[in-house]
Structure 1
Amino acid sequence: MSNAIAYVSRDTDGLHWKKVLEDALGPLDFRTLKGGLGNTDDIEIAMAWKPDRGLLASFRNIRLIVSLGMGVDHLLTDDRLPDVPIVRIMDDGLVGQMSEYAIFWALRHHRDIDKYAELQRARTWKALDFVDTIHRRVGVLGLGVIGQDTARKFAALGFPTAGWSRTAKDLPGIETFHGQDGLAALLARSDILVNVLPLTRDTKGILDAGAFAALPKGAYLVNMARGGHVVDADLLAALDSGHLAGAALDVFNTEPLPADHPYWTHPRVHVTPHIAGATNPRTASPGIIENIRRLRAGQPLINTVDPKTGY
């Protein structure tokens, strides 16, 4: 039996990953879905993104699963997942991309850029009333690595920034809330709400009619976490009623977003195709390389995931 590494993703051929791993570890038995997995009894490690149900369980000698995303919900939907450690990537490049995405859409809303675009099309020279930054409150749902980075950057721009997490966290310069009571308090003070929660049993559908009603009138939503957090009908109703000013959505309950979905043409919705953050092998590989070394040396792994909590 060899110590093969399997790249289990249909998105790319995985050769970019092979190069960065071999640069650090030397020659590898690196197999891919597109190139053929060969005898799967040889597979020791699976680097996976949205694998087919039961596929990883068919690797009889697998010892480690690496999520090729910072979220692991794409793995945990498999009810036949083998009982081996799961680790996720920690990608500084992806973290930066995500915070950039949130800040871009928040500033676009904050500075009324879409309204000025309408005035330009109408050839109308008109200054709109401006909301001072210190009066535009930002709330971040989820205070993991991405949420903390995003919250700090909003605070550095002068926005009163708060964050919510399942359990209590302390972040200098950021007001923090936790638990169910804390969620209601966070929503009530969020003029711009940025969602970066992991998708778990507890967070699925968390952005529903009740959550939208709890936001201040005129609030704006940026969802760059998972589509499953949002109840689509409730978001559309909140937008149509005027309670929400708009939404920037990068993730959806069904991807690709169906061509007949109302989001495509809704005047208050901006759609992007799950591009807020892309995994970069150059910046994501160090943690994977470290875990391969640790696994083969019998040492404790880093960036491990608890399947019970989903992160």
Structure 2
Amino acid sequence: MTIDQDQATDSEKKISWTLTRDENFNFRAAHWSDLHGLLHDALPPDIFFWGHLFLSFSISHDKTSVKVKAKVIQTDENIEIVGDLLVAADGCLSSIRQSFLPDLKLRYSGYCAWRGILDFSGNENSETILGIRKAYPELGNCLYFDLGFKTHTVLYELLNKRINWIWYVNQPEPEMKGNSVTMKVRGDMIQKMHQEAEKVWVPEFAQVMKETKEPFINVIYDSDPLEKIFWDNVVLIGDAAHPTTPHGVRSTNMSILDAEVLGKCLKKWGADNLHSALEEYQSTRLPVTSKQVLHSRRVGRIKQGLVLP
């Protein structure tokens, strides 16, 4: 996509106008399954342990190895895996991070995100698709941010005839169960969301939301920047290292850059100098990601009409 456009929508008059527009935008969007497929195909097939549940880890007394215990889901058998380094990429609710920082609390942002993907393959000329393309004429080449009163949405097209949309809604923190920030939603919740969409957004966008199968809610958290992201031979990357709100359009990019920098540091220092490699990784990434987390927090609160700290 080459265009980034921020616009505002009047919910009563159902009209939109442009606030800012960047025509030199260089942005690539991918569905998670597409990205995972690329990564999977690029790696040796024998390194994946499908159907295994992480249970615990322990660092050897001499700090030279780390042992992971996991359960094989199909057989209920517990296995142990020993390695030089444990890379914790287990997300913003990281259980590995909690082992080192048991008192760290995530900060609820004050809002959740309704999300969905409309697959319109075979329906390219439907009234809904023709309508959304008329309302958002550069869809496919533009990342749209649409601001309403104390709310905003993100809209863009993915490969293979899919439209991705996100709608941020201010609300009290929901009660979460399990270890995921994704909430399952009931039919009545979806119906209420559709009704609110009709009130807030232009009819063409509301219709896209209505025709999206299985929309879901992400509860938005972040945390104050960490002071440390490795301990002995255990290192955090991605959301485990820097839980962040998603408003910088860089949450996934932050994780990818973590992995790239970590890989380069390990290659530079070698297995015999693991501590030096992790020190360089930490000193390189922490200052950058800390600024990005706080910037994204501020942007989110501004767009949602919330009080700035």
Above 0.5 in TM-score?
A: no
Q: Normalised by the size of structure 1, how large is the TM-score? A: 0.29
Structure of greater relative contact order (alpha carbons < 8 Å, 6+ residues apart): 2
Q: Normalised by the size of structure 2, how large is the TM-score? A: 0.29
* Bigger strand fraction: 2
